């Protein structure tokens, strides 16, 4: 042990206090999303630094505690969400590039719903039970806390399903823009199935960019596709990917395999294999873990997401390395595998039959 009072000992104690108090960060982020602070500051692109008082007058129309809002903004500034401008004793806040991800764009999308989706009451009830995933991995903390697995629970709560679809759109649309710039695997595809396609945003964007794709099938749970909007050339099909998957020349899947165990992934991939013709492709976009751990934003976002999956979806669902995905694909019969790194969070994994 380092000597009492030494710099190392002091820094270590600060580090553990920071970690122990860290719940303040996502919960304050949740608060600024609920209060719509990012849109209030952005105001069509002006991003003029505003005091907490000025922000309050734009987001709460009767009263509100500016001092408490300032405490939240100040703390989030230290995490790079806002920039703090101090002049003559007054603190004002503008959005950093990180903060700008919370601004609602012209399509009504932002990363805000993703923040809210992660902090709904049912999910929050699961978090104190993370250790239970170690003690007994047969049932995930979400199930222990709420009495049933996440997707079954969402299906009975229309507002949770709606928020899930909005959260997915907010994150998926920017990724899809990057993917469609850097990946050309949709050439020659005429009928494309999106498994777990949620509201159909990914298909809409693929079809807009690739007119050769004549028909898109957006396949998701019946209660999810029931609410999906009409999209030209897209048919919404409700079903269960564990039973069967509609046929297509290629199957697209984004952020689906991650939430399931190895055995469940094999079942989904086997059903994809059966629905593809010889030479057909399964194109899966998933968060892919690096082999080595480090403290970069990328590695942390991926490792934190891994614990989220363990807590909410499946105690043995997980973020995987490229090699683990490759082994799963080989085990169900896909002979060929390629990966494309077009985004920092998702990797495009292409398995050809």
Positions that interact with ligand SAM (CB under 6 A): 151, 168, 172, 196-198, 202, 220-221, 224, 240-242, 254-256
Give backbone dihedrals phi and psi of 269, rounded to 5 degrees, phi first.
Answer: -70, -35
Angle between helix 66-77 and 52-59 (nearest 10)? 110
What span, in angstroms and rounded, lies between the C-alpha atoms of 10 and 265?
46
Closest approach of ligand SAM to the CB of residue 348, in Å: 13
Q: Which residue has the tokens 């094999």?
A: 266
Nearer to ligand SAM, 56 or 168 (CB): 168
Nearer to ligand SAM, 75 or 303 (CB): 303
What span, in angstroms and rounded, lies between the C-alpha atoms of 23 and 114?
17
Taking the CA atoms of the chain, what radius of gyration do you get in angstroms?
22
Closest approach of ligand SAM to the CB of residue 49, in Å: 34
Nearer to ligand SAM, 100 or 204 (CB): 204
Nearer to ligand SAM, 40 or 150 (CB): 150
Closest approach of ligand SAM to the CB of residue 150, in Å: 9
What span, in angstroms and rounded, lies between the C-alpha atoms of 65 and 56?
8
Contact in structure between 274 and 243 (CB atoms under 8 Å): no
What span, in angstroms and rounded, lies between the C-alpha atoms of 44 and 41?
9
Query: What Å distances lie between residue 335 and 20, 185, 350, CA to CA?
Result: 47, 17, 11
Closest approach of ligand SAM to the CB of residue 260, in Å: 8
| Residue 129 per-residue DSSP state | G
Closest approach of ligand SAM to the CB of residue 236, in Å: 12
Closest approach of ligand SAM to the CB of residue 295, in Å: 26
CB-based closest residue to ligand SAM: 196
Nearest to 217 by CA among 209, 179, 225: 225
- Mode of pairing for the β-strands spanning 320-321 and 281-289: parallel
Residues contacting 115, CB < 8 A, separation 6+:
26, 29, 30, 33, 102
Contact in structure between 328 and 349 (CB atoms under 8 Å): no
Closest approach of ligand SAM to the CB of residue 67, in Å: 38
Q: Which residue has the tokens 């990917």?
A: 241
Closest approach of ligand SAM to the CB of residue 172, in Å: 4
Nearer to ligand SAM, 210 or 236 (CB): 236
Contact in structure between 142 and 150 (CB atoms under 8 Å): yes
Nearer to ligand SAM, 49 or 197 (CB): 197
Nearer to ligand SAM, 69 or 195 (CB): 195
Nearer to ligand SAM, 95 or 143 (CB): 143
Nearer to ligand SAM, 23 or 226 (CB): 226
What span, in angstroms and rounded, lies between the C-alpha atoms of 11 and 223?
51
Closest approach of ligand SAM to the CB of residue 25, in Å: 23
Task: Using alpha carbons only, give the angle 179, 182, 183 rounded to the nearest 5 degrees.
Answer: 75
């Amino acid at each position: 042990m380092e000597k009492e009072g030494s710099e190392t000992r002091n820094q270590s104690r600060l580090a553990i206090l920071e970690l122990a108090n860290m719940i303040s960060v996502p919960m304050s982020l949740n608060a600024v999303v609920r209060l719509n602070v990012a849109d209030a500051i952005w105001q069509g692109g002006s991003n003029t630094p505003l005091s907490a008082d000025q922000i309050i007058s734009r987001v709460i129309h009767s009263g509100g505690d500016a001092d408490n809002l300032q405490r939240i903004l100040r703390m989030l500034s230290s995490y790079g969400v806002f920039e703090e401008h101090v002049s003559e004793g007054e603190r004002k806040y503008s959005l950093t590039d990180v903060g700008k991800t919370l601004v609602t764009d012209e399509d009504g999308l932002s990363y805000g719903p993703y923040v809210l989706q992660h902090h709904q009451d049912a999910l929050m009830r699961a978090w104190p039970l993370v250790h239970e995933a170690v003690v007994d991995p047969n049932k995930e903390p979400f199930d222990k806390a709420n009495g049933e697995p996440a997707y079954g629970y969402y299906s009975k709560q229309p507002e949770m399903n709606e928020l899930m679809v909005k959260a997915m759109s907010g994150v998926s649309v920017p990724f899809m823009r990057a993917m469609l710039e850097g990946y050309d695997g949709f050439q020659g595809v005429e009928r494309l199935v999106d498994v777990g396609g949620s509201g159909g945003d990914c298909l809409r964007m693929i079809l807009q960019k690739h007119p050769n794709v004549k028909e898109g099938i957006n396949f998701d749970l019946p209660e999810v596709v029931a609410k999906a909007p009409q999209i030209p050339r897209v048919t919404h099909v409700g079903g269960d990917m564990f039973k069967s998957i509609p046929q297509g020349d290629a199957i697209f899947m984004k952020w689906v395999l991650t939430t399931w165990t190895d055995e469940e992934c094999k079942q989904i991939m086997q059903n994809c294999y059966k629905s593809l013709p010889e030479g057909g492709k399964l194109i899966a976009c998933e968060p892919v873990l690096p082999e080595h751990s480090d403290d970069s934003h990328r590695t942390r976002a991926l490792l934190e997401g891994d614990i989220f999956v363990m807590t909410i979806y499946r105690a043995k669902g997980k973020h995987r390395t490229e090699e683990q995905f490759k082994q799963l694909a080989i085990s169900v019969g896909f002979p060929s595998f390629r990966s494309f790194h077009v985004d920092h969070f998702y990797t495009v994994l292409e398995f050809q039959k």
